[in-house]
Amino acid sequence: MIHVEHAVKEFKKIVKQPGLKGSINALFKPSVEIVTAVNDVSFDVNKGEIMGFIGPNGAGKSTMIKMLTGILYPTSGNITVAGYNPQKQRQQYVRHIGVVFGQRTQLWWDLPLSETFTVLKEIYQVETKRYQQRMGYLNEVLDIAPLMTSPVRTLSLGQRMRADLAAAMLHQPKVLFLDEPTIGLDVVVKDNIRKAIAQMNKNDETTIILTTHDLADIELLSHRIVMIDQGKRVYQGTLSDLKERFGKSKKIEFVISDMEQPIEQLLSQRFQQRGVQVYLENERGTLIVDRSIPSAIILKELLDLIAVKDISIKESDVESIIKEIYLTKASYE
Amino acid sequence: MKHFLKLYATFIAQYFKRLLEYRIDFLTGAFSFLFDQVTSLVFIFIIFNQIPALSGYPFEAIVFIYGFSLIPKGIDHFLTDNLWKVAYFMVRNGSFDRYLTRPIHPLLHVIMETWQIDALGEFLVGMTLVLYSSSQGIITWMVSDILLLPLTMIMASLIYTSIKMMVSAIALWTKRSGSILQMVYSTNEFAKYPIAIYHRMIQFTITYVIPFAFTSYFPARYFMTRENPWGNIGGLFLLAVTFTSFGVYLWQIGLRAYESAGS
Secondary structure (3-state) at A113: helix
CB contact under 8 A, B98 and A91: no
Q: Please give the domain boundaries of chain A with CATH numbers for all domains.
A: 2-8+38-244 (3.40.50.300), 248-315 (3.30.70.260)
CB contact under 8 A, A111 and B17: yes
Domain borders along chain B are 2-257
| Strands A50-54, A224-229: pairing kind | parallel
Amino acid B263: pLDDT: 54
Task: Please state, in angstroms and rounded to a whole number, the distance separating the CA atoms of residues A68 and A65.
Answer: 5
pLDDT tens digit string along A287-326?
888 878 888 888 888 888 888 889 988 876 667 777 767 6
pLDDT tens digit string along B142-193?
999 999 999 999 999 999 999 999 999 999 999 999 999 999 999 999 998 8
Nearest in space to A67 (alpha carbons), one of B256, B173, B89, B90: B256
Q: Which residue of A has its CA nearest to B100?
A: A71
pTM, rounded to two decimals: 0.85
pLDDT tens digit string along A150-193?
999 999 999 999 999 999 999 999 999 999 998 888 888 899 99
Q: Give how far A312 is from chain B: nearest CA, Å.
A: 39
The angle, 0 to 180 degrees and rounded to 10, between the axes of the packed helices B145-174 and B59-80 is: 50
Q: With contacts defined as CB-CB under 8 Å, which chain B residues touch A73?
A: 256-258
Nearest to A108 among B14, B95, B103 (CB): B14
- CB contacts < 8 A (A, B): 72
For A199-214, what is the mean pLDDT?
A: 90
A18, amino acid identity: P
CB contact under 8 A, A69 and B101: yes
Q: Is the pLDDT of residue A331 over 70?
A: no
Task: Please state, in angstroms and rounded to a whole number, the distance separating the CA atoms of residues B207 and B205.
Answer: 5
pLDDT tens digit string along A96-131?
999 999 888 899 988 999 999 999 999 999 999 999
Q: With contacts defined as CB-CB under 8 Å, which chain B residues touch A72?
A: 258-260
Is residue B219 left, alpha or beta, with left meaning phi > 0 and alpha meaning psi from -120 to 50?
alpha
